[in-house]
Structure 1
Amino acid sequence: MEKIKTFFLRVAARCNLDCNYCYVFKHRDMSWKNYPPTMSKEHVVLFSHRLKEYVMETKLKEVYIIYHGGEPLFIGESVLLEYTDIILKALDGIVSVEFSLQTNGTLLTDKFLEECDRRKIKISLSIDGPEDIHNKNRKMANGDGSFNLVFSGIQKVQKYPHLFQGAIGVIDPYSNPEQLMEFYNQTQIFNVDLLLPDANYESPPKYREAAPYIYKNWLIESFDAWFDKYQDLSLRTYENVLKRLLDCNTSTDSFGFGKLDYLTIEVDGSYHTTDILKVAFENASAMGISLENATINQAATHKKVEEYNMLLAKENLPQKCKSCDVGYVCGGGALPHRYSEINSFDNPTIYCNEMRSLINHAKKRLNDEVENELLL
């Protein structure tokens, strides 16, 4: 049995931003409207008991807890710290616990970060690039751009480099890739996960109908900028492409293969697989069980987890992917991006052409680099 070590706690089902592409609030799953705005203390206490029980059963040495939203700090910084202390107290002396917070950064304060430092809570933020790029899609609820508040939050976190895990950015295909790399480089955001906007066959990628090659061209141009000039930046997607081309094991939600190695606890205490499935259909990630009526072990071995892992398995790749020359790299692509109402997840990623072009381009660049090294 695969042991689950990572747990996403969705402590808030609301947000102070109104991002155009948000997979929680702007896609096909509107179940957030039925959830309480924030996770209750009772559910956190119950989670800590369930986790203690699971750790003692499985003899885990470490666990990872990631606060998610909405915006996790919507719950209030004092409440989030209280919840952290509840979990730490329950697991004290039993297992090593590492906390992370995925935040938009707008509500971060110096006082809160001091408390995070005491508890070793690591911080990841979301920023799409310089002000004009970022503000295009990541607006405050009142319609104002969020860049200034977000960047102020990043500067606060950067005072604690041992806590700063880096940033997530969503690709705007009309942005200038080299300008984007230079922004991350100049602002010393050296660890970045650049993501394609969530899409699938029922919700195709924005802009692509009018400009069929826009994402493909952007990916290749940005890969070249990174490969030639900005390899000091850790860009997870491009690094993972190269690792898979070199036959190195790597696990990422951006590609297929691997296994689901985490669980999500929704704001109402219900167990879910990966919440990114919200882009597919209503309650796609829901298991139908909760902290009240099921153990973590029951969730970890639930049929929804088995089904998810089966879809990621190499032998269950869509037929088109099995015969593809780069199928061994992308593994069919991110599972939520494979969904259609007709075939469910039995499709290549909606970004198939883009990923195939990127991987073949990266392969050529890698081969050219090796040949040049051999000639020296």
Structure 2
Amino acid sequence: MTDLTLSPWPSVGLDVDALRSSGWRPYPFNEFVIKIHSRCNLACDYCYMYEMVDQSWRDQPMVMTEEIFADTCRGIADHVSRFEIPAVSLVFHGGEPLLAGHSRFEFFARHAREQLGSRAEVRLGVQTNGVLIDEEFLRICDQWDVVVGVSIDGGRDAHDRHRKSRRGDGSYDDVARGLTQLREHRNNKLFGGLLCTIDIANDPIHTYEELLAFGPPGVDFLLPHSNWQSPPPGKIEDQAAAPYAEWLIPIFDHWYGAPELDTQIRLFDDIIRVLLGGQGRGISVGLAPIRVAIIETDGTLEQVDSLKSTYSGATRIVTIADMGMGDRLNHALWDPGIVARQIGSAALSDTCMSCSLRDICGGGDYVHRYRAGTGFRNPSVYCSDLAALIRHIKVRLEDDLDKVTTK
């Protein structure tokens, strides 16, 4: 059960009716994260699904049924048609999604293409820990055009420190084996990139080089999901310190100064894009509206699942009983938690509003702003890190732009 006393804003304090009366309208969902399996074959110690305050995974069916998935696709199709959405992304997620097995995974991919392909451009993806990647999964991904993202935290020592099997041994060798098969597949467009959760105990350049060894088209460095109630490692004693910026800046300089582009790094790309007046593609910086819906294995519609790192029930969306998925999606657009991530600077704290980096940083990842008693209307717990990183990138960018304009 959700305890609203833990999160007075936006559950309490955001006047959605006033926004509606003013003429504001939400952006429809265009990305759907489908939890096709609710369990995992690894036991990563930083996992927001299994190791933090929200333990609702215990009440979820282990695997999504074909019937629930078909109903989900019908609801998404209705949403797409109602709002004339030109393109949508479906990401198969978990837990570990490949635990669903070859046959069911192929049904999900095929059915999504068949049911949605005539309504909009459909982009399918899967985010996996890589352990179960094999030739049959790759065949399915190749046939139904499913892009594969893999989570890995660097070399063997860095990865195995946190990402262990249920037996307690490291998972690096199994992940590397799966990644090698993915990289060597005849369709190189299947490889979407790598997701690396930052551990400041690891050497940043060594970590980056270990990731590059797999030839990824993109790398996403993820700040650990922490907040003011549970600060991240390195900031518990001194929350004004910037150890995550100090870790990321050497990687940025190495990446930015390379004679040729090694890979895309979404965090850096987004900061540069926003500094130049554009919009970021992720949730870490900028004020672009977040348009993501999560569907659990039982068909429950929820907010972005990383909110499970804040308090139990934080992802909950209140819907009317017996609503079909299409109506639930349309109804959810007016949920305070969804609205709060689409109203830009109006969702920011007074501290963020007075900051010169407001429109660049955008308050950071919404999840990292949580504090019991004030909810999500706070600066990010990574505020000092984001400020230091953005200012460093801004100086590098301005120096290069000055060189171009003075030639």
Q: TM-score scaled by structure 2?
A: 0.86
Q: Indicate yes or no: 2:359 matched with 1:328.
A: yes
Of the candidates 50, 61, 64, which is equivalent to residue 89 of structure 2?
64
Of the candidates 274, 279, 298, which is equivalent to residue 309 of structure 2?
279
Partner residue in 2 for 1:316: 347
How many Å apart are 1:370 and its aligned residue?
Answer: 2.5
Partner residue in 2 for 1:233: 263
Partner residue in 2 for 1:222: 251
Q: Which amino acid aligns with 2:293?
A: L
Could you tell me which runs of 5 or more consecutive residues in structure 1 were left unpaired when the two chains were aligned. Answer: none
Q: Indicate yes or no: 2:364 matched with 1:337.
A: no
Summarize deviations over 1:40-77 as a string: whole Å, max 9, x none.
22211211222333333334443321100010011212
CA distance in 2, matches of 1:332, 1:246: 18
Q: 1:340 to 1:256 in 2, by over 3 A?
A: farther
How many Å apart are 1:303 and its aligned residue?
Answer: 5.9
Q: Which amino acid aligns with 2:315?
A: S
How many Å apart are 1:94 and its aligned residue?
Answer: 4.0
Q: Which amino acid aligns with 2:196?
A: G
How many Å apart are 1:82 and its aligned residue?
Answer: 1.8
How many Å apart are 1:354 and its aligned residue?
Answer: 0.7
Q: 1:217 to 1:62 in 2, by over 3 A?
A: closer
Partner residue in 2 for 1:209: 236
SS of the aligned residue for 1:18 comes to coil
Q: 1:155 to 1:347 in 2, by over 3 A?
A: same
Partner residue in 1 for 2:202: 175
Partner residue in 1 for 2:19: none
Could you tell me which runs of 5 or more consecutive residues in structure 2 were left unpaired when the two chains were aligned. Answer: 1-25
CA distance in 1, matches of 2:386, 2:321: 38
How many Å apart are 1:31 and its aligned residue?
Answer: 1.0
More displaced, 139-148 or 178-187?
178-187
Partner residue in 1 for 2:273: 243
How many Å apart are 1:92 and its aligned residue?
Answer: 5.6
More displaced, 108-117 or 179-188?
179-188
SS of the aligned residue for 1:192 comes to strand
How many Å apart are 1:329 and its aligned residue?
Answer: 0.7
Higher relative contact order (CA 8 A, sep 6+): 2
1:170–1:196 contact (8 Å) kept in structure 2 = yes
CA distance in 2, matches of 1:130, 1:124: 17
CA distance in 2, matches of 1:61, 1:367: 36
Q: 1:289 to 1:43 in 2, by over 3 A?
A: farther
Q: 1:226 to 1:309 in 2, by over 3 A?
A: farther
SS of the aligned residue for 1:17 comes to coil
CA distance in 1, matches of 2:330, 2:286: 19
CA distance in 2, matches of 1:72, 1:289: 26
CA distance in 1, matches of 2:208, 2:266: 13
Of the candidates 43, 46, 55, which is equivalent to residue 30 of structure 1?
55
Of the candidates 162, 166, 169, which is equivalent to residue 137 of structure 1?
162
Q: Which amino acid aligns with 1:225?
A: H
Of the candidates 141, 148, 164, which is equivalent to residue 191 of structure 2?
164
Summarize deviations over 1:170-210 as a string: whole Å, max 9, x none.
11112122212222333211300001111001111023335
Summarize deviations over 1:323-354 as a string: whole Å, max 9, x none.
11211211111101000002111110000011
More displaced, 194-203 or 357-366?
357-366
Q: Indicate yes or no: 2:393 matched with 1:362.
A: yes
The aligned runs of 1:190-205 (5 Å cut-off) are: 190-205=217-232
Of the candidates 270, 287, 291, which is equivalent to residue 257 of structure 1?
287
- RMSD value, Cα: 2.2
2:30–2:292 contact (8 Å) kept in structure 1 = yes
Q: 1:124 to 1:210 in 2, by over 3 A?
A: same
Q: TM-score scaled by structure 1?
A: 0.93
CA distance in 1, matches of 2:275, 2:358: 11
More displaced, 8-17 or 243-252?
243-252
Q: 1:153 to 1:351 in 2, by over 3 A?
A: same
2:318–2:335 contact (8 Å) kept in structure 1 = no
CA distance in 1, matches of 2:277, 2:406: 24
**Paired residues, number:** 376
Partner residue in 1 for 2:102: 77
1:287–1:304 contact (8 Å) kept in structure 2 = no
Q: Which amino acid aligns with 1:184?
A: L
Q: 1:270 to 1:358 in 2, by over 3 A?
A: same
1:264–1:272 contact (8 Å) kept in structure 2 = yes
Q: Which amino acid aligns with 1:214?
A: P
CA distance in 2, matches of 1:118, 1:305: 37
How many Å apart are 1:290 and its aligned residue?
Answer: 8.2
SS of the aligned residue for 2:277 comes to coil
SS of the aligned residue for 1:289 comes to coil
Partner residue in 2 for 1:371: 402
Of all paired residues, the percent bearing the same amino acid is 29
Q: Which amino acid aligns with 2:298?
A: D
Q: Indicate yes or no: 2:66 matched with 1:41.
A: yes
2:72–2:325 contact (8 Å) kept in structure 1 = no
Of the candidates 136, 149, 152, which is equivalent to residue 111 of structure 1?
136
2:191–2:217 contact (8 Å) kept in structure 1 = no
1:18–1:138 contact (8 Å) kept in structure 2 = yes
SS of the aligned residue for 1:180 comes to helix
SS of the aligned residue for 2:37 comes to coil
CA distance in 1, matches of 2:274, 2:229: 29
Q: Indicate yes or no: 2:30 matched with 1:8.
A: no
Q: 1:70 to 1:309 in 2, by over 3 A?
A: same
How many Å apart are 1:116 and its aligned residue?
Answer: 1.6
